[in-house]
Structure 1
Amino acid sequence: MEESSGSSSLFAVFILSVFSLFLIPYTIYKLCVAAAPDEVVKPWESKKTSAISRFAGKFFTVQNVLLAVGWLVWVGLVFYVQTQSADLAPFDPFEILKIDRGATDKEVKKAYRQLSLIYHPDKNPDPAAAKYFAESITKAYQALTDEEARKNYEKYGHPDGQQALNMGVALPEWIFSRDKHAAPVILISLIGICILLPLIAAACYLLRSNKYMGPNNVATETLEIFLRSKFAVKESQGLARVLDTLVFAYEFIMLPTPSEQAEGLEALRRTMLRLQPDLKEKPQFWKRKPSIVKCNMLLLAHLLRAPVPPIFANDMKYVLKKSPQFLEEMINIANLARPPAGYGWLTPTIGCLEMAQCITQAMSITARKSLSTGSTKGGTDTNVLLQLPHFDYDVLKKLGRKKVRSLAELSTMDAEERLELFVTSGLTKSQAEEAATSLLSIPTVTLTDVQLQVEGEADGTQLVETDIVTCSVQVVLSRPSHASPDAQPPKGTSVLAYAPMYPYPKPEKWNFIVADPLTNTVYARAETALVDAEAAGLRTAQRAKQPLLLTGGRPSNGKKEVADVPVTANGSSASAAEKGGEVALAAHSAAAAPTGQLVEVKFRAPKAGKYDLTLYCISDSWAGCDRSAAFKMRVAEQTRAEKEGRGGGKARAEIASGDEAARDDNADERDDDDEEDEEDGSEGDWDSEDSGTEESGSEDEDEPAEKEKDGKEKSPEKQ
């Protein structure tokens, strides 16, 4: 028996098998799973591309090119294996002489003579031909003509008799060394590279993945800090306090701050003190861990559009990449069901969304605080222009001298006139083009037909405690770019926001929140991409030959928007004084409004009483584009039969139909007057921006007097 040795042909088979295990499943995934319409729409692109360019951009991606190269390598391996498989084929004299298995001796001799004329050394001087003639053709002839050789072939499969077992290993021959010192090293290397290294890599990956949870890949330590530490999300935490919690994420705490960055940190510190003089009065800000101070200053520099030393380029990208993920988790924590009612907090939810807007468009917190979320005042505030790239207060002053103070005025200008205005206001030509592109991509959202429905009940059914309520609204989204003749209907799953100041692609997400602003309560939140709403807005713009104007919440005709009209739903009634002429205006506007995207938000009805709720529509990418629709909701107390789980449907139908006898029969089971008095007594004004004086994450824990003074805000541990 021969000793085992390597085989290049077997190694090629091994490589082909392993390569196929990865290539074939990935190809199936790309064709079946990844082929779903996940295209990201860019409505701010005005260039009309040809069909060939769109095809090339869709299919000639990096992943597709790598996949094609992988299949070319696979075909090459298959061809190599086929050419090298001759050494592995068993000895077959009939195949070598190219004759049938039932051939006679005469046919065998004839085939041998024909092959001799081709491969005999006297006829063919090629050494390879002589070797093939001696080792294959001659042995095949002997196996079929010589009696002894034929017996050996029939018994052992070879004319020379029993052959020694030749074992081949699916590894290259150069790995097998006869050197006694090199062989152990090669063996240990094979075990370490092929067995131990993959196991170590898998173990490290699993250990690291255990630190994260949720779709945003956020560390569990970060969630613990946001939920239970002294820097946790608080009930009255508005936009100004969100940054105090955001920078204490565990990933930011563990961000390396080597000594090489000391000079850059000092330069960044001087820049921040110049732009934010109030930081001089916050000694606790500079006493924090260097990594936290660095991340805080980097975020402030981004919001203020201040220059950052080049040594922080990678840190800045990391901070901006992780911040939206942390804000999403902070929103989830703010919306957690909390006793006794089981609802979330509105103020930190809006604050985090406003911070996401600021980070996406590099807008300062001061400028964003001047805009009123969901009100009709945002469009007239000049500060809304500060979200445009390269705009600052100097540019706003120059525009103000030319009587231009709003997005609507800029969007209605001629393109050339607008570019010239930007250039004369201090921008370069390229900066002016970026600002114009951003202006034309700012969305305008219209909310119509806000309705409440009880799940599983007929229309007109009165709301009762613990019912599952669905708040639905029709949404239409328009942009000034829809006026372009090259505008195409969006197709895909999301729309990409135009954010040149943000280093990563940013899909637009819209949050629909049903809340009670007086009690700082969030009943439910739904996040969606308004792709269908944009398609409806584009159809409307094409029919009207012009898009909806950028008004920030006020229609161009100056009338009250239908979204702000109180909506009566599901059995609740408004008085004639409440309706007046506004309901007629709402009905007329809703009838004339185009059908847009239907958005539904589900929540559980609260305890019995009357509620003045608000449906907020807030973007995570644009400032001044938020909307709100106010509506009334009346919830009845459960009857005794409903509480006991019997006859609830009949009693509810009787209440909805207005049957006086049914009301008399159930009068002892509910007391609406008491519920209304309790509701009126519990409601009060809520400051949604900067209520409370305690700084989020204050480090002065040794001052009980201050803590008692600001005791309106409970810590998450006590809640």
Structure 2
Amino acid sequence: MEEQAGSSPLFAVFVLSLFSLFLIPYTIYKLCVAAAPDEVVKPWESKKTSAISRFAQKFFTVQNVLLAVGWLVWLALLLYVQTQSGDLVPFDPYEILKVERGATESEVKKAYRKLSLIYHPDKNPDPAAATYFAESITKAYRALTDDVARENYEKYGHPDGPQALNMGVALPEWIFSRDKHAAPVILISLIGICVLLPLIVAACYLLRSNKYMGPNNVATETLEIFLRSKFAVKESQGLARVLDTLVFAYEFIMLPTPSEQAEGLEALRRTILRVHPDLKEKPQFWKRKPSIVKVNMLLLAHLSRSPVPPTLANDMKYVLKKSPQFLEEMINIANLARPPAGYGWLTPTIGCLEMAQCITQAMSITARKSISQGTAKGGADTNVLLQLPHFDYDVVKKLGRKKVRSLAELSAMDAEERLELFVTSGLTKKQAEEAVTSLLSMPTVTFTDVQLQVEGEAEGTQIVETDIVTCAVCVLLSRPSHASPDAQAPKGTSVLAYAPLYPYPKPEKWNFIVGDPLTNTVYARAEAALVEAEALGLAERVAGSAKQPLLLTGSADGGRASEASSDGKKGDAEEAKAVPVTANGSSAAAAGKGADAAGPRPQGQLVEVKFRAPKAGKYDLTLFCMSDSWAGCDRTAAFKLRVAEQTRTEKEGRTGTAKARAEHASGDEAAREEGEVRDEEDDEDEEDDEEGDWDSEDSGTEESGSEDEEEENKKEDNKKDEKEKLPEKS
């Protein structure tokens, strides 16, 4: 037996196999699953790009380039294996001589003479040819013509008889060093790299993954703080108090504060005190953990657009990257079902969304609160201009002196006049161009139709307790940039908000919330990317039928209060099923009844918000449409909801008809006749309901086949009602 040694060809085969296990599945994933990546639209880019540049941007990404390099390496390994693994092929005389198995001796001699003319040393001076002729062709000829050689080949697989066992390991030959000092090091290295390192990586990954949960990879400790600690999300927590919870995220608490940041933190502290002098009178603010104080100051500096020392630049990016994720989790916690009604809180939900707007556009909390207060009073606030990049109070004052106080007035101006106005107000030309781009990118949302529908019920069905109600809204979205002749309809899956002061790409997300501001209740919330709504809005504007304003500054009275009736009367039957609210807030039911009066379905992207109907009563609800990227572009629509009380039959679950029960019985004729009688009684009850004489409280008794049984059941029900009322009287 020969000494064990390494084999570079075998090692190449081993590496090629492992590399293929990773490369081939990843390629299939890229081609099949990720073939249509999330294309992000940038509405502020009006320049048309060529087809070649679009192809380059789409396919020449970092991942695609790395994938192409991986396949080049795979091909190189494959060629190396094919060229270097010749000695690994077992000896086969039939393959060498190119004859079929069972060939006669004359056929073998003929093939040998033919190969001799090619590889014999007298015919071919190449040394490699001579070696191949001597070691392969000659042995193959002898193995098929000589009796002893043939017997050895058939018995041992070689014409020379049994060969020494040559063991090769799928490792390079240089690893098997005969140096006594190098061999132990190589062995330890192999064990560490091939065994211990994968185990350590797997253990670290499992430990790290257990610390996070949810799509945003938020630490479980953070969710625990947001949910149950004294810094948790509160019922009445508005915009001003959102930071008190946000800065206590576990990831922020564990953010290191090295000593080399001391000078930068002190400079940041002086800057924050100049912007927020009231913090001097709050010693508890500065007594918290240094990491929490640092995160709070960084957020305040970003919202006030104050400079940050270079030593804190990376921390600032980390805080801004994680803050939207934490705000999303805070919104989810605020929307959790809470007793007794089983709904979430509206105030912290609105506050977190407003904070997301402030972080995206680097807008102060004071300015955002002023916008909300101005909207609530029915007017516009000039502070909405502060979300434009490079704008401050001085710029807003200079614009006010020139009688420009709203976004609509700016968007209606001529392009050159607007740019000159920004420059004369104190901005540089580059800053003015960014402000103009942001202005033209601001969205306007319009409700073309809002309807309440009962899931799984026919038209005209009343809304009853515990019904699944769907608030279906049709939305159009437009921007001032749509007026440009180069404007193109978005075709991606999301739209990027123009936020030059935010260091990361920020897709626009629109939150549709059904809530009751008076009771601070959130019934349901849904997120949507209004790509289709923007494409339809652009088409409407191009067609010349768009009537919505260029910019919407958050009108609180998004529509007159429409009413969803559920009292079961004929006159309110249509309102119980669906009450559309048009873009100007008027009820479509008032405009006319029937398909001819209402017209075709309004155009717009359909967004559905589903919630469970509350207890019986009348409710004044509001549909909020809020962006997490823009301030002052929110939209609301108010409507009334009437919910009827469940009948006793519905409460006890006896909603099936007697006919259905009778058909599943043994099939005797008496039962069928009884079912027909009950069907007739049901039809009479339905006719009474349509005439308006039906009492919902008296409809819960079991159906019966005779009047005597009905009277007995009514008497029993009256007795039960009297017993239930006795404790109340006492």
What is the TM-score of this pair, normalised by structure 2? Answer: 0.85
SS at match of 1:391: coil
Are the counterparts in 1 of residues 566 and 643 from structure 2 also a CA contact under 8 Å?
no
Structure 2 counterparts to residues 638-677 of structure 1, below 5 A: 638-647=646-655, 657=690, 659-662=692-695, 665=698
Please name the residue that 2:623 is paired with: 615
> Structure 1 635/113 Cα, relative in aligned 2: closer, same or farther at 3 Å?
closer
Structure 2 counterparts to residues 507-586 of structure 1, below 5 A: 507-544=507-544, 548-553=548-553, 563-571=558-566, 583=587
Q: How many Å apart are 1:586 and its aligned residue? A: 7.5
> Structure 1 379/85 Cα, relative in aligned 2: closer, same or farther at 3 Å?
farther
> Structure 1 239/318 Cα, relative in aligned 2: closer, same or farther at 3 Å?
same
> Structure 1 427/661 Cα, relative in aligned 2: closer, same or farther at 3 Å?
closer
Q: Which of 134-143 and 217-226 deviates more?
A: 134-143
SS at match of 1:64: helix
Q: How many Å apart are 1:468 and its aligned residue? A: 1.3
Q: How many Å apart are 1:121 and its aligned residue? A: 4.7
SS at match of 2:86: helix
Name which structure has the greater RCO, CA cutoff 8 Å, separation 6+. Answer: 1
Are the counterparts in 2 of residues 461 and 656 from structure 1 also a CA contact under 8 Å?
no
Are the counterparts in 2 of residues 343 and 523 from structure 1 also a CA contact under 8 Å?
yes
SS at match of 2:563: coil
> Structure 1 567/634 Cα, relative in aligned 2: closer, same or farther at 3 Å?
same
In structure 2, C-alpha distance between the alignment counterparts of 1:501 and 1:317, rounded to whole Å: 11
Please name the residue that 1:69 is paired with: 69
> Structure 1 586/321 Cα, relative in aligned 2: closer, same or farther at 3 Å?
farther
Q: CA RMSD in A?
A: 2.9
> Structure 1 374/51 Cα, relative in aligned 2: closer, same or farther at 3 Å?
farther
Q: How many Å apart are 1:105 and its aligned residue? A: 5.0
1:53-92 CA distance string (max 9 Å, x none): 2222112211111112212222222222111221111122
> Structure 1 362/653 Cα, relative in aligned 2: closer, same or farther at 3 Å?
farther
Structure 2 counterparts to residues 239-638 of structure 1, below 5 A: 239-372=239-372, 375=375, 380-544=380-544, 548-553=548-553, 563-571=558-566, 583=587, 587=591, 595-638=603-646
Paired amino acid for 2:286: W
Are the counterparts in 2 of residues 473 and 599 from structure 1 also a CA contact under 8 Å?
yes
Are the counterparts in 1 of residues 252 and 292 from structure 2 also a CA contact under 8 Å?
yes
Are the counterparts in 1 of residues 41 and 491 from structure 2 also a CA contact under 8 Å?
yes
In structure 2, C-alpha distance between the alignment counterparts of 1:381 and 1:655, rounded to whole Å: 55
> Structure 1 591/399 Cα, relative in aligned 2: closer, same or farther at 3 Å?
farther
Q: How many Å apart are 1:145 and its aligned residue? A: 4.0
1:375-398 CA distance string (max 9 Å, x none): 476872111111111111111112
Q: How many Å apart are 1:3 and its aligned residue? A: 2.6
In structure 2, C-alpha distance between the alignment counterparts of 1:582 and 1:152, rounded to whole Å: 101
Q: How many Å apart are 1:277 and its aligned residue? A: 0.7
Listed as ranges, the gaps of 5+ residues in structure 2 are: 576-581, 658-681, 701-713, 719-730
> Structure 1 590/293 Cα, relative in aligned 2: closer, same or farther at 3 Å?
farther
SS at match of 2:564: coil
In structure 2, C-alpha distance between the alignment counterparts of 1:243 and 1:653, rounded to whole Å: 57
In structure 2, C-alpha distance between the alignment counterparts of 1:450 and 1:104, rounded to whole Å: 91
SS at match of 1:602: strand
Q: Which of 123-132 and 19-28 deviates more?
A: 123-132
Q: Which of 65-74 and 366-375 deviates more?
A: 366-375
Structure 2 counterparts to residues 16-95 of structure 1, below 5 A: 16-36=16-36, 38-95=38-95
Please name the residue that 1:166 is paired with: 166
In structure 1, C-alpha distance between the alignment counterparts of 2:508 and 2:649, rounded to whole Å: 47
In structure 2, C-alpha distance between the alignment counterparts of 1:586 and 1:418, rounded to whole Å: 43
> Structure 1 358/470 Cα, relative in aligned 2: closer, same or farther at 3 Å?
same
Q: How many Å apart are 1:444 and its aligned residue? A: 0.2
In structure 2, C-alpha distance between the alignment counterparts of 1:326 and 1:628, rounded to whole Å: 25
Q: How many Å apart are 1:498 and its aligned residue? A: 1.0
Are the counterparts in 1 of residues 566 and 644 from structure 2 also a CA contact under 8 Å?
no
Q: How many Å apart are 1:125 and its aligned residue? A: 4.9
Q: How many Å apart are 1:23 and its aligned residue? A: 0.9
What is the TM-score of this pair, normalised by structure 1? Answer: 0.86
Are the counterparts in 1 of residues 625 and 636 from structure 2 also a CA contact under 8 Å?
yes
Q: How many residues align?
A: 660
> Structure 1 97/640 Cα, relative in aligned 2: closer, same or farther at 3 Å?
closer
Q: Which of 145-154 and 220-229 deviates more?
A: 145-154
SS at match of 2:84: helix
In structure 2, C-alpha distance between the alignment counterparts of 1:519 and 1:171, rounded to whole Å: 72
Please name the residue that 1:3 is paired with: 3
Paired amino acid for 1:357: Q
Listed as ranges, the gaps of 5+ residues in structure 1 are: 671-719
> Structure 1 264/378 Cα, relative in aligned 2: closer, same or farther at 3 Å?
farther
Are the counterparts in 2 of residues 454 and 469 from structure 1 also a CA contact under 8 Å?
yes
> Structure 1 617/290 Cα, relative in aligned 2: closer, same or farther at 3 Å?
same
1:401-434 CA distance string (max 9 Å, x none): 2211111111112222221221121112221111
SS at match of 1:464: coil
In structure 2, C-alpha distance between the alignment counterparts of 1:570 and 1:456, rounded to whole Å: 18
1:37-59 CA distance string (max 9 Å, x none): 52112212111112222222112
Paired amino acid for 1:77: L
> Structure 1 664/548 Cα, relative in aligned 2: closer, same or farther at 3 Å?
closer
Are the counterparts in 1 of residues 443 and 551 from structure 2 also a CA contact under 8 Å?
no
In structure 2, C-alpha distance between the alignment counterparts of 1:582 and 1:133, rounded to whole Å: 97
Paired amino acid for 2:605: Q
In structure 2, C-alpha distance between the alignment counterparts of 1:164 and 1:285, rounded to whole Å: 82
